[in-house]
Each structure stands twice: as C-alpha cells, then as structure tokens.
Amino acid sequence: MQQLTFIQLNENWDAEPNAPSVHVEFNNGTAELSFMLNSWRDKSIKQLATIRFTNCSRWNWDATNDHAWFAGEGRYAKQAPKWGEFYEVIGEETLGGDIDWEIMSTDPVNARHFLFYFRDETLEFIAADWSISIDTLPPR
C-alpha cells in the first residue's frame, strides 16, 4: 500500500451531517459541487456551500457511505484520517488511482486530487484548483 497524505481542506465549516442535498453541475470545464452546510453550529442560519473545481478533467461519484467506510470498505477507508471531511490526496503513483472515472478532458499539468466524504456518498474530482462560496438562505 502506498503512503498517501490527506490534507483536510474544510476549516471552520462542514457539510450537513444528515441531509446535505449534494448536487453537481458542470460549466465550461468547472465542476460545481453544492451542498448544505452543518446547521448545528448556528440553528438560526441555513447556508448553501458551492465548491468550484476549476479545470476539472475527471470526477467520480461513489456510493460508499459512512457505514461502509467505518467497516473498512471503499477507497481510502483504512488510510483517510476521518470520515465526513474534504481532502486533497497527495502521493498517489497514479493521480486518482485506477477507478472508473467520468472523464471530461485530459488532466491539466497541475492537476490535483480532491476527495469529499458525505454521509451517503463519496465524491472525487481531478482539477487544477478549488474555491468555495457560501450563501445564506432566507428563513422559511
């Protein structure tokens, strides 16, 4: 097993642990991953986060959930530090490993591997970079 490094990228925010309402869209080489943020931090505020993966060349939506991960199943289950976080994966012999990727273009020269564990799924993106925007939703 190769030695990988997982750099946690979500500081001061995390996805809604129960029903994050994950959605992915693609727009001119950019993948947009939208999801609800954890409302347990401030029960009066509901927020929607959108992570934009620029120059995204590949992506994968896997059904590995929290139960499978804790049982040691799925990619990186015995390597990633903890479930439910957003990581950059560094140190792979083959960027992103050998899985059934949805390929959109050739990998950019500066491609990076991003991994996000949600409650009921795992998403991975190969892209040049990422950014996040957070929008506060109006109360219902």
This prediction has a pTM of: 0.93
Q: How many Cβ atoms from other residues are within 10 Å of residue 92's Cβ?
A: 13
Single out the residue of 84, 106, 82, 85 nearest to residue 96, CA to CA.
106
CA–CA distance, 21 with 34 (Å, rounded to integer): 8
| Per-residue model confidence (pLDDT) at position 23 | 97
| Per-residue model confidence (pLDDT) at position 42 | 62
Phi (first) and psi of residue 66, to 5 degrees: -65, -40
Burial 42-62 (b: 16+ CB within 10 A, else e): eeeebbbbebbbebbbbbbeb
| 117 bridge partner residues | 122
pLDDT per residue rounded down to tens, the chain (140 residues)? 578 999 999 988 999 988 899 999 999 999 999 999 997 766 668 899 999 999 999 999 999 988 998 999 888 988 999 988 999 999 999 999 989 999 999 999 999 999 999 999 999 999 999 999 999 887 76
Element (H, E) at 68: helix 66-70
CA–CA distance, 132 with 125 (Å, rounded to integer): 14
| Per-residue model confidence (pLDDT) at position 8 | 96
Write out the residue range of the structural domain in which residue 93 sits: 5-137
Structural domains of the chain, count = 1
